[in-house]
């Protein structure tokens, strides 16, 4: 499934681009992500934990990050396996950082592939809702890190855990609201 997200950070392009170069700090701002090893060649090992409806998956895997400093863009190719549940995941991400009014626009295009038991809960709507929430949390963490008074203060900032139950119920509410909008011809706002 393809997911595209855009967001604006209230900081200059060079500050945001510099932040994206620090993969361990980026990982600390991704809810549910943990970087376990930097292999030193642009590849990293880590773990990503997410709640897909009633199911929690924890993908252990590897990602390779390539960057184009001249074009302020990059690519991430990652894959992992949930050893408990037998699910597998693969993600290919392209991202761009560019000037925008009031700061920097970041565009993220991701192609996510799930296999195994996670597929039954990984509906497109739920994955999109989850990615929107995760991006919101990521941006809040990024803004806080870049706005910190000292390096020590910035180092102490990290994303919280993924709120699985609230994400599940939020997604369920979105589905119900969409159904009512379709039922009433899009005239009602819930």
With beta carbons less than 8 A apart as the criterion, state whether 146 and 15 touch. Answer: yes
The answer to whether position 41 is within a domain reads yes
CATH classification at residue 49: 3.30.530.20
Query: Six-digit token pair at 4?
Result: 């595209």
CA 92 to chain centre: 12
What's the domain count of the chain? 1
Residue 189 lies in a domain: no
Does residue 188 belong to any structural domain of this protein? no
Q: Answer whether residue 68 is part of any domain.
A: yes
DSSP H helices in the chain: 13-21, 23-28, 118-121, 124-147, 151-155, 164-183
| Structural domain includes residue 124 | yes
Domain membership flag for residue 115:
yes
Q: Looking at the domain assignment, is residue 122 inside a domain?
A: yes
Domain span including residue 62: 2-183
> Is 10 among the domain residues?
yes
Angle between helices 124-147 and 13-21 (to 10 degrees): 110
- How does pLDDT run along the chain (190 residues), one tens digit per residue? 888 889 999 999 999 999 999 999 999 998 888 999 999 999 999 998 877 667 788 899 999 999 999 999 999 999 999 988 888 889 999 999 999 998 999 999 988 888 888 776 655 566 667 667 777 788 888 889 998 889 899 889 988 754 443 444 444 445 455 555 666 665 444 4
């Amino acid at each position: 499934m393809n997911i595209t997200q855009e967001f604006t950070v209230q900081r200059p392009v060079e500050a945001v681009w510099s932040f994206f170069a620090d993969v361990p700090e980026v990982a600390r701002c991704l809810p549910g992500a943990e970087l376990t090893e930097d292999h030193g060649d642009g590849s990293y090992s880590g773990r990503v934990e997410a709640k897909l409806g009633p199911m929690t998956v924890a993908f252990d895997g590897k990602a390779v990050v390539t960057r184009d400093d001249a074009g302020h863009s990059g690519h991430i190719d990652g894959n992992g396996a949930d050893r408990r549940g037998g699910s597998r995941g693969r993600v290919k991400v392209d991202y761009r950082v560019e000037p925008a009014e009031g700061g920097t626009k970041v565009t993220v295009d991701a192609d996510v592939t799930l296999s195994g038991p996670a597929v039954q809960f990984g509906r497109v709507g739920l994955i999109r809702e989850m990615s929107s929430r995760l991006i919101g949390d990521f941006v809040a963490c990024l803004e806080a890190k870049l706005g910190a008074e000292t390096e020590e203060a910035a180092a102490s900032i990290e994303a919280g855990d993924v709120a699985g139950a609230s994400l599940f119920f939020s997604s369920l509410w979105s589905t119900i609201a969409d159904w009512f909008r379709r039922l009433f011809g899009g005239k009602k706002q819930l």
